[in-house]
């Protein structure tokens, strides 16, 4: 049994929260979900008891606090080894760590221009030149993983793992902003987006009422 609590932000917007939430939900690991409303008057008060500098996600495991989405996923992979968060083969594991770290530290234009927004669609959306460069790199990363390490299943490293959780918010963005996909990205995006865990997240995001203006892209949109 586990005694886990995951503190997350608004499901519509909080891309960082989605990553560890997905690992827990995917594997049916029991956890308490505590949602705080980002960038509201209550946020500072709600997060004050924690060391994580007023940011989510935060994982509580008994007395232990773990913060930062990648660190939480690392912890969950260790805590639940049966789920093989990282690939078993060392070369694949090294690449999975590389692409997860790259997701954590890179793709600034895609993040900035396409904030995660699960409940809206942005028909005709256009990226800047920097955004297009990031997108090309994203597709190259997925192709590299799928072609070299993706045998045995539809996920980046064959079976579902930490790298898929790290890239899940990108999948959400590609769907919301109706980005044209190549032949590797298309089945990957469809498989992840249609999964019950992601659909449950989207359903919760849809009924949230808060609007965070700075996370609303400057492009005409419509509800899903
Ligand atoms: N690197 C951190 C980033 C966490 C982060 O920036 N979370 C956002 C919500 S998605 C947040 O809490 N923002 C509040 C703030 O910046 O004050 C992680 O991966 O967990």
What's the pLDDT at 101?
Answer: 98
- Whole-number pLDDT of residue 52: 95
Q: What is the pLDDT of residues 43-84, one digit of tens each?
A: 999 999 999 999 999 999 999 999 999 999 999 999 999 999
Give the pLDDT mean for 98-106: 98
Question: What is the per-residue pLDDT across 131-151, written as a single tens digit (0 to 9) for each?
Answer: 999 999 999 999 999 999 999
pLDDT tens per residue across span 15-35: 999 999 999 999 999 999 999
* Structural tokens at position 63: 């007395």
Measured in Å, residue 142 CA sits from the centre of ligand 1 at 24
Query: Atom of ligand 1 at shortest distance to CA of 53?
Result: 17
Quick one: which atom of ligand 1 is closest to the CA of 68?
20
At residue 128, does pLDDT exceed 80? yes
Burial 99-118, CB ≥16 within 10 A → b, else e: bbebbbeebebbbebbbbbb
Q: Which residues line ligand 1 (CB under 6 A)?
A: 9, 14-17, 38, 54-57, 68-70
Query: Contact at 8 Å (CB) between 38 and 7?
Result: no
pLDDT of residue 145: 98
The pLDDT score that the predictor gives to residue 90 is 97
* Domains of the chain with bracketed CATH: 4-83 (3.40.30.10), 90-206 (1.20.1050.10)
Tell me the CA–centroid distance for residue 164 and ligand 1, in Å: 19
Q: From ligand 1's centre to the CA of 117, what distance in Å?
A: 15
pTM of the model as a whole = 0.97
Atom 12 (ligand 1) nearest CA = 55
Check residue 106 and give its pLDDT.
97
What is the predicted pLDDT for the residue at 2?
A: 65
Q: Is the pLDDT of residue 1 over 80?
A: no
């Amino acid at each position: 049994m586990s005694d886990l609590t995951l503190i997350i932000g608004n499901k519509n917007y909080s891309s960082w929260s989605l990553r560890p939430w997905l690992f827990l939900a995917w594997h049916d690991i029991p956890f308490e979900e505590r949602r705080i409303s980002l960038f509201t008057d209550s946020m500072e008060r709600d997060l004050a008891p924690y060391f994580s500098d007023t940011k989510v996600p935060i994982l509580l495991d008994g007395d232990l606090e773990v913060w930062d989405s990648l660190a939480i996923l690392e912890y969950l992979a260790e805590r639940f080894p049966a789920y093989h968060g990282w690939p078993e083969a060392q070369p694949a594991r090294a690449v999975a760590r590389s692409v997860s770290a790259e997701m954590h530290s890179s793709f600034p234009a895609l993040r900035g221009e396409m904030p995660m927004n699960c409940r809206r669609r942005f028909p005709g959306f256009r990226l800047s030149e920097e955004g297009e460069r990031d997108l090309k790199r994203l597709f190259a990363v997925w192709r590299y993983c799928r072609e070299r390490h993706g045998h045995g299943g539809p996920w980046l490293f064959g079976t579902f793992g930490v790298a898929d959780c790290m890239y899940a918010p990108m999948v959400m963005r590609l769907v919301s902003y109706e980005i044209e996909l190549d032949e590797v990205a298309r089945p990957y995006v469809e498989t992840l987006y249609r999964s019950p865990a992601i659909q449950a997240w989207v359903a919760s995001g849809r009924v949230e009422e808060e609007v965070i203006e700075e996370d609303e892209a400057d492009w005409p949109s419509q509800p899903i």
